[in-house]
Amino acid sequence: DAKTTQPPSMDCAEGRAANLPCNHSTISGNEYVYWYRQIHSQGPQYIIHGLKNNETNEMASLIITEDRKSSTLILPHATLRDTAVYYCIVRSGGFTSGTYKYIFGTGTRLKVLA
């Protein structure tokens, strides 16, 4: 089972910030949070990942709560091209055991409105 829960859908006005929440209350101390998005009929696109500090790159910002049980992906100025399904993933398994893998949840379907 996926280790994250997300709202099934959200709308956002074009040009406004899109804030996508994710709960990962069972996250372990050394597990990273990864965000991807999938535009229709394409493979998932990597956005950002983090451990406990807030992260920012050219695509988005990632805010992780101090207890690490939840995070928020922020798209600062959403455009129509940001319409996609956004997945928050906490890696399952351990690298050294060779069982490291992603288990995808249902994600959040973000619709950016003109």
Partner 1 sequence: GAVVSQHPSRVICKSGTSVKIECRSLDFQATTMFWYRQFPKQSLMLMATSNEGSKATYEQGVEKDKFLINHASLTLSTLTVTSAHPEDSSFYICSARAAGSSNQPQHFGDGTRLSIL
Binding site for partner 1 (CB under 8 A): 32, 34, 36, 38, 41-46, 49, 51, 87, 95, 98-107
CB of 64 to partner 1, least distance (A): 14
Give the nearest distance from C-beta 43 to partner 1 in angstroms: 4
Q: In whole angstroms, how large is the CA radius of gyration of the chain?
A: 14
Read off the amino acid at residue 112.
V
In whole angstroms, how close is the CB of 47 to partner 1 at the nearest point? 9
CA distances from 56 to 9, 71, 97, 105 (A): 23, 13, 31, 23
In angstroms, rounded to a whole number, what is the distance separating the alpha carbons of residues 104 and 4? 8
Q: Choose between 4 and 70: whose C-beta lies nearer to partner 1.
A: 4
